[in-house]
Structure 1
Amino acid sequence: MITLSPLKRRLVYVTLFEVLGIVFATLVLMALSGSQAQESLPVAIIVSTAAVIWNFIYNTLFEAWESRSKITVRTLKIRVIHATGFEGGLFLFCLPVYMLWYGVGIGQALVMESALLLFFLVYTFVFTLLFDQIFALQHLSKK
């Protein structure tokens, strides 16, 4: 196992996650749109960049809301609200991107977004599982 400082670990995580995510999302978009990599790669990069930016903005706003609301524990209900809000915001951004870029209607754009949402659900789980096996958390690696 490789042990990194918390900051380095986060940077390695987000870099590997996004680079591999862009590659896989490009393949998914190619399959869904019938396009070539040179057409789907820019969309995957746009969506990935939007996700990173939205993640930062959304989490900042969400944590401020939690603080103002005096929420001290993230219950299942709070986690569902968090996940739904994040994905909903990203969904609202991505839908018109797919429609404009690929020249498809809302139905096809919904299929594309739904497929990518399901893909990233599985990808995030598998990636995090493997990442945690390779890059130890400092507080867990001292045992």
Structure 2
Amino acid sequence: MRTRLDRIRHAVLFEIIGLIAIMGVLSQLGFELGHVGAMGVLFSVVATGWNYVYNIGFDKYMLSKLGTLTKTTFVRIVHSIGFEGGLLFLTIPFMAWFLDLSLWDAFVLDIGMVVFYLFYAYIYNLAYDRVFPIPMTLDK
């Protein structure tokens, strides 16, 4: 498994790159950059903590059920869906309140962000695993 420092680097880089990308997209859709940025930073902090906890749990599950940390395409898809699904129900009410949207509009916007992050998470994790391969020793 990955070391604690490697997991922190993974989570922080994921959030920084994702935040920059999503702020650019949402500001182009007419949302005020300051509001989107503040919301994005808050969501990034929450998501960073979730990323850390989720990936530890996911790796432990993989080791116990599959006996390996090697991720197939299917496992990467399941990984991404699980991560984003865990954040979805937390973000909708806050997003509606903070951006002065109806719950439905916040849901639609959040689904759009989830779709973006599903693709982003898959590509990011694939690239991260290639740049920083998983060490052969297990982290305890």
Q: Do these two structures clear the TM 0.5 threshold for a shared fold by scoring above it?
A: yes
Say which SS state the counterpart of residue 136 (structure 1) adopts: coil
User: Unaligned stretches of 5+ in structure 1?
Assistant: 67-71
Distance 1:44 1:29 in 2: 10
2:132 maps to a residue whose letter is: F
Q: C-alpha deviations, 1:15-72, integer Å up to 9, x for none?
A: 111111111222233244x12322211111111222233455667899xxx8xxxxx5
* Corresponding residue of 2:12: 15
- The structure whose RCO (Cα within 8 Å, separation 6+) is larger is 1
2:7 maps to a residue whose letter is: R
- Give the aligned CA root-mean-square deviation in angstroms: 3.3
Which structure has the bigger radius of gyration? 1
- Relative to the length of structure 2, the TM-score reads 0.68
> Which among 122, 125, 132 is matched to residue 125 of structure 1?
122
Say which SS state the counterpart of residue 137 (structure 1) adopts: coil
Matches within 5 A, 1:21-100: 21-32=18-29, 34-55=30-51, 72-73=64-65, 87-100=84-97
Distance 2:97 2:54 in 1: 25
Q: C-alpha deviations, 1:75-117, integer Å up to 9, x for none?
A: x9xx96x877754442221111111111111221011110110
User: Unaligned stretches of 5+ in structure 2?
Assistant: 67-73
- Relative to the length of structure 1, the TM-score reads 0.67
Equivalenced residue count is: 124
**Structure 1 contact 99–105 (Cα < 8 Å) conserved:** yes
